[in-house]
Structure 1
Amino acid sequence: MPETNSALVIDIPVQLPHLKSVHSIGALQFEGDLPASIFHLQLITGDIADWRAEADIVAVFHTNAGHVTLNDGAYNRSRNILTGNPYRDLVADLMKRGVRIELCGATARVNRWGNADLLEGVRVNLDAMARTIQLVQQGFVKITE
Structure 2
Amino acid sequence: MKKKTVVKLLIIAAFCLIGVSINQSSADAASWHKGTPKVLRGTYQGKRTSSAEGFGYFYKIASKHYIIQYSNMSQIKTVNLKYKKLRTHVYRIVGHTQKSGMVLGGHSDSVLYRKGKLLLLTDYASYKKEKMNAFKYSLKNPAKKTTHIKDGGAIVHM
TM category, shorter: under 0.3
Greater fraction of residues in strand: 2
Report the TM-score when normalising by structure 1: 0.27
Query: Which gives a bigger RCO, structure 1 or 2 (Cα 8 Å, sep 6+)?
Result: 1
Greater fraction of residues in helix: 1
Structure with greater Cα Rg = 2
Report the TM-score when normalising by structure 2: 0.25
